[in-house]
Structure 1
Amino acid sequence: MSARLRGLVLRHPFAVLAALAPLVAVLLLRFGPVAGFAVAIYLALTVWIVRRLVLRDAVKDTVTALVDAIESTVGDLRAGITPDGAGLAVRVRRVLAASATPSAPAVRAATLRLDSARRVSEYLGTPLVDLLERVEADLKAAQALRQSADVQTSAAHASAYMLMAMPAAGLFGAVAMGIDPVEQLLHTPLGAACTVLAVTLQSAGLFVTFRMVDFLSREAWR
């Protein structure tokens, strides 16, 4: 996925959905409202999942850039190039300006720690280099914990993606057995009710699963 498309999905997901609206309209006119409803839900889920993946990678990149900024500042302070943390403030502003996720919880937590370190150094006289090294160690530990959480929740992700693909697999299986499931699911009252209920329950299951995974990831940065 190109950087421009990633930025569009991240910042303007509703615009992406609006661009896909003609497809939903075509299917609605061709196959009826049940098909339009199902496709609209699946497209929204797809955009939401892609946005989650892009957001996760963007947050990792931003925190890594902040850690690099801290390392550079610590090196300057120990070498006597800069007497205070002015260089850090400039580097942090550059990182946040280039970041696609400056308001993400993990990024806010990192910048708040840096600001707290600067304030403690100013008011209490604690050497800033020592405080920055502690913040750097905390952020690296949080990154390692976040990576471990991603590994531990990989099974949940795989189950969620499998759940999303199962309806299509069921349709192909029915066609392979010589059954026409589309007519039954889209154009009979019982089939339409089953389709709407199945799509709704599947969406709820995916949402709950990913919310649980997000909660574990957020805890890693506290």
Structure 2
Amino acid sequence: MSLSFLLGAAAGYLLGGPVAAVALGLYATVATLFLRRRHAAKAHREARSALLDRLTGLAADLRAGIPMPSALALLDPATTGAGPGAGAGLVALARAAATLAERTGAPLAELIDRIEADARAGDRARAAAAAQAAGAQATGLMLAALPVAGLGLGFAIGTDPLAILLHTPLGAACALAAVALQTVGLIWSQHLQPRQA
């Protein structure tokens, strides 16, 4: 993250001086955070989907007659690849179901099916919530892009807004305040997105 700030700041300094350095450094940092979050969310969804598919397969194997110790081995976190964010809770729940089935004789395949169905229903609900929040996020991105349109409008009417923003004390204060408010607004709009399970 600090590398993205330094690279953005270096490019900004070369293009427009110290004010541009701070602005581009912050923009580069926010962009890096968004890209990392998007990549982590995608990896989380893929790992969780693979784990749910594995639970579905486990239920089918249990119905086909796989012995209980083999089922417990299939739920080993080392073999599922379920890290803390990718479904370790599901693995723990499935292991608890296996223990319950072993102690009470309850059908483990049915319990695993219920765990998997409930998890998929929760995932669908989170996806629906994310779709609802996407409008707020798109609005935040559009509002963040409006200052660029304002700069374009300034050039269109024959002024040089960059010279004022980058090379006068009042302009620099306005530019830095605007960048800070944009950064806070973009981060806040990201927090509107539902959390991963």
- What is the 5 A alignment of 1:99-178? 102-104=83-85, 107-178=87-158
**8 A contact 2:136–2:189 mirrored in 1:** yes
CA contact (8 A) 1:171 1:181 kept: yes
Deviations 1:51-105 (A, max 9, x none): 1211221111111101110111111110113444235225x534417xxxx232x
Note the C-alpha offset of 1:168: 1.9
Alignment of 1:212 onto 2:192: yes
| Distance in 2 (alpha carbons) for counterparts of 1:119 and 1:175 | 70
Deviation at 1:120, TM superposition (A): 2.6
Provide, for residues 188-214 of structure 1, a one-character-per-residue CA deviation record: whole Å limited to 9, x for no partner. Answer: 11100001111111111111221132x
Superposed CA offset, 1:130-151 (max 9, x none)? 2211111111101111111111
Shift of 1:160: 1.9
Match in the other structure for 1:88: 74
Cα offset for 1:108? 3.4
TM-score normalized with structure 2 length:
0.87
Q: Distance in 2 between matches of 1:62 and 1:131?
A: 21
Q: Percent identity?
A: 34
Alignment CA distance shift 1:43-1:26 (3 Å): closer
What's the offset of the Cα at 1:163?
2.4
CA contact (8 A) 1:149 1:217 kept: no
Q: Report 1:4-43 matches (<5 A).
A: 14=1, 17-18=2-3, 21-43=6-28
Query: Are 2:57 and 1:79 equivalent residues in the alignment?
Result: no
Does the 8 A contact of 1:186 with 1:192 survive in 2?
A: yes
Larger displacement relative to structure 2 (170-179 or 148-157): 170-179
List alignment gaps of at least 5 residues for structure 1: 1-13
| CA distance in structure 2 between the partners assigned to 1:63 and 1:34 by the alignment | 43
**Who wins on radius of gyration, i.e. which is larger?**
2
Between the aligned partners of 1:148 and 1:89, the Cα distance in structure 2 is 29
In structure 2, list runs of 5 or more residues that go unmatched: none
State the one-letter code of the partner of 1:31. G
SS at match of 1:217: coil
Residues 19 and 176 of structure 2 are in contact (CA less than 8 Å); yes or no, is this contact kept in structure 1? yes
Contact map agreement 1:121 1:128 (CA 8 A) in 2: yes
Which aligned runs of 4 or more in structure 1 are off by greater than 4 angstroms? none
Whether contact under 8 Å (1:35, 1:186) holds in the other structure is: yes
Please report the RMSD computed on the Cα atoms of aligned residues, expressed in angstroms.
2.2
Could you tell me which of 44, 51, 54 is aligned with 1:66? Answer: 51
AA matched with 1:209: S
